[in-house]
A and B are shown apart, each in its own frame.
Chain A
Amino acid sequence: MTDYLLRVAIKMAVTLFAIVTVTFVATRLSGNPIDTFLGEGLTDEGRDALIAYFQLDRSIWHQYVAYLRGVVSGEFGLSFIERRPVTQVVAARLWPSAQLLLASIGLTAAVSIPLGVLAALYRKSWIGSAVMVVAFSGYAVPNFVLAVVMILTFSYWLNWLPVVGNGTALHFIMPTIAMSGVLIAALTRFTRNAMLDVLGQDFIRTARAKGLPELAVVMRHGLGNAGVTVISVIGLQIASLAAAGSVVVETIFSWPGIGQLLVTAAIMRDYPVLQFGVIAVAVAVVLINAITDVAYALVDPRIRLARS
Chain B
Amino acid sequence: MTGLADIVARHRRRRAGAAAGGDIIQRIALLLAVLLAAAAILTPLIAPFDPLDQSLISRLRPPAGFDRAGPGHLFGTDELGRDVLSRALYGMRLTLTLAFVGALIGLCLGGTLGVIAGLRRSWLEDAIMALVDMQIAIPFTLVALLVLAVLGSNVTVLVLVLGVAGWEQYARIVRAEVRRLTGQPFIEAARAAGAGTVYIARRHLLPNVVSPLVVQFTLALSNIVILESTLSFLGLGVQPPQPSLGSMVGLGRDYMPTAPWIVLAPAALIVTLTFTVQILGDWLRDRADVRLQER
Known A-B contacts A15-B134, A142-B274; A244 and B140 likewise in contact (beta carbons under 8 Å): yes
Assess whether A225 is interfacial by the CB under 8 Å rule: no
In the complex, A11→B133 CA distance in Å?
A: 9
Assess whether B278 is interfacial by the CB under 8 Å rule: yes
Closest CB in chain B relative to A285 CB, distance in Å: 6
| Residues of chain A within 8 A of B246, CB atoms compared | 144
Number of residues on chain B facing chain A (CB within 8 A): 46
Q: Looking across the interface, which residue of chain A has its beta carbon closest to that of B275? A: A140
Interface residues in B127-144 by Cβ distance below 8 A to A read 130, 133-134, 136-143
Known A-B contacts A14-B130, A274-B145; A267 and B137 likewise in contact (beta carbons under 8 Å): no
The stretch among A46-54, A172-180, A208-216, A275-283 that forms the contact with chain B is: A275-283
Q: Is the interface of A mostly helix, strand, loop or mixed?
A: helix
| Residues of chain A within 8 A of B75, CB atoms compared | none
Known A-B contacts A247-B141, A267-B236, A285-B137; A140 and B222 likewise in contact (beta carbons under 8 Å): yes
In the complex, A14→B132 CA distance in Å?
A: 13
In the complex, A18→B142 CA distance in Å?
A: 14
User: Is A189 within 8 A of B257, CB to CB?
Assistant: no
Assess whether B176 is interfacial by the CB under 8 Å rule: no
User: Is A36 within 8 A of B150, CB to CB?
Assistant: yes
In the complex, A81→B143 CA distance in Å?
A: 21
Assess whether A26 is interfacial by the CB under 8 Å rule: yes
| Residues of chain A within 8 A of B233, CB atoms compared | 144, 248
Assess whether B109 is interfacial by the CB under 8 Å rule: no
In the complex, A97→B270 CA distance in Å?
A: 27
In the complex, A240→B146 CA distance in Å?
A: 17
User: Is B140 within 8 A of A26, CB to CB?
Assistant: no
User: Is A19 within 8 A of B138, CB to CB?
Assistant: yes
Mask: chain A, 25-38; 1 = CB below 8 Å from B; 0 = not:
01101100100100
Interface residues in A115-150 by Cβ distance below 8 A to B read 136-137, 139-145, 148-149
| Residues of chain A within 8 A of B278, CB atoms compared | 136, 139-140
Residue among B146, B257, B282, B295 with the highest chain A CB neighbour number at 10 A = B146
Known A-B contacts A140-B222, A248-B233, A263-B234; A29 and B150 likewise in contact (beta carbons under 8 Å): yes
In the complex, A143→B246 CA distance in Å?
A: 12
User: Is A141 within 8 A of B138, CB to CB?
Assistant: no
| Residues of chain B within 8 A of A289, CB atoms compared | 137
In the complex, A15→B132 CA distance in Å?
A: 11
Q: Looking across the interface, which residue of chain B has its beta carbon closest to that of A200? A: B3
Assess whether A265 is interfacial by the CB under 8 Å rule: yes
| Residues of chain B within 8 A of A11, CB atoms compared | 133
User: Is B147 within 8 A of A142, CB to CB?
Assistant: no
In the complex, A26→B143 CA distance in Å?
A: 8
| Residues of chain B within 8 A of A137, CB atoms compared | 275
Q: Looking across the interface, which residue of chain A has its beta carbon closest to that of B234? A: A263
Assess whether B294 is interfacial by the CB under 8 Å rule: yes
| Residues of chain A within 8 A of B141, CB atoms compared | 243-244, 247
Q: Looking across the interface, which residue of chain B has its beta carbon closest to that of A265? A: B149
Known A-B contacts A142-B230, A148-B256; A269 and B149 likewise in contact (beta carbons under 8 Å): yes
Closest CB in chain B relative to A303 CB, distance in Å: 16
Assess whether A251 is interfacial by the CB under 8 Å rule: yes
Known A-B contacts A142-B274, A148-B256, A152-B260; A15 and B151 likewise in contact (beta carbons under 8 Å): no
User: Is A140 within 8 A of B263, CB to CB?
Assistant: no
In the complex, A274→B236 CA distance in Å?
A: 14
Interface residues in A7-65 by Cβ distance below 8 A to B read 11, 14-15, 18-19, 22-23, 26-27, 29-30, 33, 36
Assess whether A151 is interfacial by the CB under 8 Å rule: yes
User: Is A240 within 8 A of B137, CB to CB?
Assistant: yes
Assess whether B48 is interfacial by the CB under 8 Å rule: no
In the complex, A27→B147 CA distance in Å?
A: 7
In the complex, A126→B140 CA distance in Å?
A: 36
User: Is A142 within 8 A of B294, CB to CB?
Assistant: no
- B interface residue numbers (CB < 8 A to A): 3, 130, 133-134, 136-143, 145-152, 222, 226, 229-230, 233-236, 246, 249-250, 253, 256-257, 260, 263-264, 267, 270-271, 274-275, 278, 282, 294-295
Query: 20 A-B contacts, Cβ less than 8 Å apart?
Result: A14-B130, A29-B151, A36-B150, A139-B274, A140-B274, A141-B274, A142-B229, A142-B271, A145-B270, A148-B267, A151-B256, A156-B257, A156-B260, A186-B295, A244-B142, A247-B142, A247-B145, A252-B253, A266-B149, A285-B137
- A interface residue numbers (CB < 8 A to B): 11, 14-15, 18-19, 22-23, 26-27, 29-30, 33, 36, 136-137, 139-145, 148-149, 151-152, 156, 186, 189-190, 193, 200, 240-241, 243-244, 247-248, 251-252, 262-263, 265-267, 269, 271, 274-275, 277-278, 281-282, 285-286, 289
Given contacts A29-B147, A247-B141, 20 further A-B contacts (CB under 8 A): A19-B134, A27-B146, A29-B150, A140-B274, A140-B275, A145-B267, A145-B271, A152-B260, A189-B294, A190-B294, A244-B139, A244-B140, A248-B230, A262-B142, A266-B236, A274-B146, A278-B142, A278-B146, A285-B138, A289-B137
